[in-house]
Structures are given as structure tokens and as C-alpha cells.
Chain A
Amino acid sequence: MNESIQKIKEGVIEGRHKEIESLVREICKTGISPDKVIQEGLIAAMNVVGQKFSDGEIFVPEMMVSAMTMKLGLNIVKPLMTGKAGAPKGTVLMGTVKGDLHDIGKNIVVMMLEGAGFQVIDLGVDIDVEKVVAAVAEVRPQVLGLSALLTTTMPEMKRVIEELRARGLRDRVKVMVGGAPVDAAFAEKIGADGYGSDAVQAVALVRSFVGH
């Protein structure tokens, strides 16, 4: 691997947020393709970070700093991309369901998805069914991600899926669910298309949905 790209990758993994912008600027001047910087530097780094998180080597604080570092780098390189390489791999709509104000897990998934090249529209927290369904109808995302931390707000996920079905939108969007009280069995029970136990799995799930 190109030594400069390796430096970018290490910079993101280690969360060297103060250096990343100048590192990316420098490498972009050498004529290397921006897509390569993103794929082999920034995204490859976040894959490593995600794996370290799944393995319990690092935790949310370190992951947040890596994601922030990745985003700083992405902001430099993205405007340089042209044509097909600059197009997002797909659109994902994300939100924490009604009655639930917790968003750290969802925010990490958002950051990881952006890092993986997806366009993400984040609806925020405490989002009622109507708003989610209206956004699906308007945005037409390939994937809808629903998050809940509270056991008591889990039924809202089911309500969203039922409402999507009632409006004839269910077949147009893949629905993934996640959050501390949720598991694969619950996802299947409510008719979701998938469950991600952490941000890495969520990204893998979205990739499988959109074929990347």
C-alpha cells in the first residue's frame, strides 16, 4: 500500500484528528485518485476501527474520535471526486423511535455509514411513526435504520413497519433495527429485514441490502 495512504489509515485508527486534514491535503496533491484515498485510507481505517470495537479492544470514546477524524478527512477529499466515484453508494434514513431520546449508538452507525460511502439522512431522536413514514415516502431511501435503547420503545419499531405496509411502502425499503434491548429474534418477529448488534454489523447489513 502507498505509504501516504497507510499514514492516513493509521491516523484515522489512532484518532489523530489534528493531523488528518493536512495528511489528506498532501496526498491529494500527489495526483492519487480521491476514491483510492477514501477506499484504502479512510474507509479501510474505519473497518479496522469497527472490528476493534466488536472485539472489545476499543470502546465508544475512541470510536467517536476515529469517526470524527475520518469525517475531517472525508470533507477534504470529497469535493475532489468527480463522476461516478463521487456518487453515494446508496441512501439510508436513520432515526431513534418515538419516546426514546438516546442517540449515541445511532450516531455511531450514521458516522460509520457515511464513512463507508453512503448518504445518510438522520431524522434524530424521538421520531414518531408518521414522520418516519413521510420521510420514507419523500426520500425513497434504500434502507431505513431504526434505533431504540429503551425496552419500552421497542414496540414503536413494529408500528413503523406496520405503517409502511399500510401505506404500500414496505416493499420499497429495507428496514434494519438495532439498540441494546433489540435482538435478531425481535427483528424477525416484527418483520424487519435485519438486525445489527453494533455499527460494524449495521454497515455490513446495509452493504448486503444495496449490493456493495
Chain B
Amino acid sequence: MKATPYNLFMSALYGGRKGIRPPAGNPTSIACVELMKACGAFFPEAHLNPRAMADLALAGHELAGFDTVMPEYSVHQESAALGCEMDWGNETRMPDAKTAPHADFSDVIVPENILEKPSFRVVLDALSMLRREVGGQAAIIGKVMGPWTLSYHMAGTQNFLLQLGLGEKDKINRMLRQLMPVTIAFANAQFRAGADAVVLADHATGNLVGPYHYRDYLLPIHQEITARVGGPMILHICGNCLDRLEFFAESGVDAYHFEWQVDARTAVEKIGKRISLIGNLNNAKTLYQGTPEDVYKQARYSIEAGVDIIGPECAVPLTTPLANLRAIPAAVREGY
């Protein structure tokens, strides 16, 4: 196997042949202010304009040295298309939805033309640009929100969790089922637009909800999503998910993107070769507040533990130093 960024990433994603080094990947955003300045593509434009979106993703590969390009920086592309009023933020503030249009758990009617909504179109167009510009060279990663995350946006997070606690199973399941087609349609559209893999971000977060919530509500839905989506999927769920890794391995995804709270060695031991593991550098302490040396050490720990693809644990803080991000590719380039 030629040791190109694309080959190394895709092989590691499938648990295939190892090249001369592990890949550095970012299933979630590595956009930071320094990277924006370096490439001239800034938030909020990079959420709204496909050229700016693609340029910022390219900067992650060309200027920061990652083996992937991932052009979706917010978690609100879908909720914007589904009627949430948006604040698209600025260079140092991520977008946020200002309204929860289905706080009463009323039926979510998915627009027939949802793929043509501006917040979907921008991602699809950016992916197509990236395919034309670095296809086969860098691995192109798309991203969709799963129905659990979308339910937070539609009903309000606290409200959704309260209904969950109250045991309103029908309400919860109805909303999840109504939102699932959005996730499937967007993921398949992203593959058609040029993505090599798509992240399924669905925040049944460790410490927030239990493994039994994931097993009872979300596992069957994730199995259906992965069965109905054409290409490889990477599951992203934040928090300490050691208690539910087994379920993730049954969900039909090809990899799980995990956080630092789960020790890399423990995760590798628990998951084995059933799915690949991506992560798990600490954002708050190491990437944001640490030094390139701290990042390098943690990346090497993950490599030695057997993590397949090395990267930050989640979307990095926007004021993360670029030098710290560059320390990840520097660590993987030393090989296994």
C-alpha cells in the first residue's frame, strides 16, 4: 500500500493493512482562529459559503498536516434546515440554535427538498469541491447529526432528557423515528457529493445519559441508519463511554471517535478489532492549554496503545494554538 494520506486513513478505518505510520484524522472540527487567518476563510462565513467551508477544511490538511479534510464545523446544519432560528456565531464562538421548534414534541415534518436547504447545500457543495481538489489524495470526511442530537435541537436538550427520565417512550421514539430519515438522506447525499466516510454524531453522551438509554432507544436506530447508508460511518459520541463501547461495536459503524476520558489502552482492549478507534487527545487540557510537547506525548501514547487513527477527541476550542494541532501529524509521522 502506498503511504498516502488517503490510503493510510481508509485502510485504518477498515482495520486493514498498516502502512509506515498511523494516520492523523479529524472526524470533528479542527478549525481554529490561527487556521482561519492562515487560509483567509473565517467563521461564520465558513458555515455558510461552500468555498470558505472547503478552504478551511483544506487548511487542516495542507497547513496543519492532517490526512483528512472535514468541512462541517457546526452541529446545526440540520437543525437550521428543520426550522431552528440560528445564531451562526463568529471567529471565536461556535453557532448555536436560538429556538427549539418542537419543545411540545409535536410532529416533525421533514421538508421534501431538505437536501436543497442552504445549510445542507453548503456542505454538499463544499464536499464536491474537495472531491475535485484533493479526492484520492486526502480522505474526505462528511458529518451528519443523528436523531438523538437532532431531538435535543428540536425539543431542547433539558426538555428531551426530562421526557426521557419520565419514561415517555412513545414521545421519544416518535421523535427519533421522525428525524432518522434526515440523518440517512444527508449521509447518502454526502457520499454522492464526494465524502469517503461520514461521521454520525449523536450525543448520547457518557455521564449525561446511561448505556441502557443507548441500548434501548438508539442502538436499533443506529443499526438501521448504518444499514441504509452506503459508505463507511464513524460514530462520534462525547464523554466517558466505556460503559457502552460494546453497544457501539454492534451499531454497524466502522469506527468510533472517542474522548480522553476513556483510556486509549482500555478502549483498544475492550473493542479489539471489531471496529476501528479514532481519537483521543484531550482538548481542554492538552490541545488548548498544553504545549506541542504535551500534545506529542499524548499522541504517542494513543499510537502505542493501538488507536487506529490519531486526532483530537472532539471539535477543538477555536482559540487552540495551531502549533499544538500540528504536533499531532508530527507525532504520527514518526511511525508506529
Q: Give me the interface of A with B, judged by CB distance under 8 Å.
A: 15, 17, 56, 58-65, 68, 99, 101, 103-104, 107, 150-152, 154, 180-181, 183
Chain B residue contacts of A180, Cβ below 8 A: 284
- B213 interface neighbour in A56, A59, A101, A103, Cβ under 8 Å: A59
A60 touches B288 (CB 8 A): no
On whether the beta carbons of A61 and B283 are closer than 8 Å, the reply is no
B209 at the interface (CB under 8 A from A): yes
CB–CB A101/B319 < 8 A: no
Q: Is B162 an interface residue (CB 8 A)?
A: yes
Residues of chain B within 8 A (CB-CB) of A60 are 161, 165, 207-209
Chain A residues, Cβ within 8 Å of B166: 15, 17, 65
- Determine if B92 and A152 form an interchain contact, defined as CB atoms under 8 angstroms apart: yes
In the complex the two chains form, what is the Cα distance from A42 to B285 in whole Å?
Answer: 38
Chain B CB within 10 A, most for which of A60, A65, A107, A154: A60
- If A103-B158, A104-B158, A151-B284 touch, does A59 touch B210 (CB 8 Å cutoff)? yes
10 residue pairs, one from A and one from B, having the closest CB atoms: A61-B165, A181-B284, A65-B165, A151-B317, A61-B164, A59-B210, A151-B284, A61-B161, A152-B317, A59-B209
- Alpha-carbon distance between A46 and B209 when the two chains are bound, in angstroms: 18
Question: Are B158 and A68 within 8 A (Cβ)?
Answer: no
Complex contact B288–A151 (CB within 8 A): yes
Which of B92, B162, B164, B319 is within 8 Å of A68, CB to CB? B162
Contact status A152-B319, CB under 8 Å: yes
B96 contacts partner chain A, Cβ-Cβ < 8 Å: yes
Q: Which residue of A lies closest to B288 (CB)?
A: A151
Number of contacting residues on B, CB 8 A? 24
Q: Which of B94, B165, B213, B288 has the most CB of A within 10 A?
A: B165
**C-alpha gap A83/B131 in the complex (Å):** 73
B37 in the interface, Cβ–Cβ < 8 Å? Answer: no
21 A–B contacts from the bound complex (CB under 8 Å): A15-B165, A15-B166, A58-B210, A59-B213, A60-B161, A60-B207, A60-B208, A61-B161, A64-B161, A64-B162, A103-B158, A104-B157, A104-B208, A151-B283, A151-B284, A151-B288, A152-B93, A152-B317, A152-B318, A152-B319, A180-B284
How far is B158's CA from A107's CA once the two chains are assembled, in angstroms?
A: 9
Contact A59 B208 (CB under 8 A): yes
**A62 x B158 contact (CB < 8 A):** no
Give the residues from 232 to 247 in chain B that come closer than 8 angstroms, CB to CB, to chain A. Answer: 243
Q: Closest chain A residue to B164 by CB distance?
A: A61
Q: Which residues of A contact B161 (CB under 8 A)?
A: 60-61, 64, 104
- Measured CB to CB, the nearest residue on chain A to B96 is A101
**A61 and B317 contacting across the interface, CB-CB below 8 Å:** no
Q: Complex: how many Å from CA A154 to CA B164?
A: 30
- With A61-B162, A107-B158 already in contact, the answer to whether A99 and B93 are too (CB < 8 A) is yes
- Which residue on B lies nearest to A180, using beta carbons? B284
In the complex, chain B residues whose CB is within 8 Å of the CB of A151: 283-284, 288, 317
The reply to whether A61 and B288 contact each other, CB–CB distance below 8 Å, is no
Decide if A61 touches B243 in the complex (CB within 8 Å): no
Q: Which listed residue (A64, A150, A152) contacts B158, Cβ 8 A? A: A64
Which of A17, A59, A154, A183 counts the most chain B CB atoms within 10 A? A59
Return chain A residues, CB-CB under 8 Å to B213: 59, 61
Cα distance, A62 to B213, chains bound together (Å): 11
Query: Are B209 and A61 in touch, CB under 8 angstroms?
Result: yes
Give Cα A154–Cα B285 distance, bound, in whole angstroms. Answer: 12
Q: How far is the CA of A207 from the CA of B255 in the complex (A)?
A: 45
Which A residues touch B319, using CB under 8 A? 152
Contacts of A63 in B (CB 8 A): 165
Docked pose: A101 CA to B92 CA in angstroms = 14
Please give, as numbers and ranges, the residues of chain B lying within 8 Å of A15 by CB-CB distance.
Answer: 165-166
The complex places the Cα of A151 from the Cα of B260 at a distance, in Å, of 15
Q: Using Cβ atoms and an 8 Å threshold, which residues of chain B touch A101?
A: 96
How far apart sit A193 and B285, CA to CA, in the bound complex (Å)? 20
- Chain A residue with minimal CB distance to B172? A61
Q: Are A65 and B162 in contact (CB under 8 A)?
A: yes
Minimum Cβ distance to chain A for residue B94 (Å) = 8
Residues of A within 8 A of B318 (CB): 152
Nearest neighbor of A152 in chain B, beta-carbon distance: B317
CB distance from B320 to the nearest CB of A (A): 8
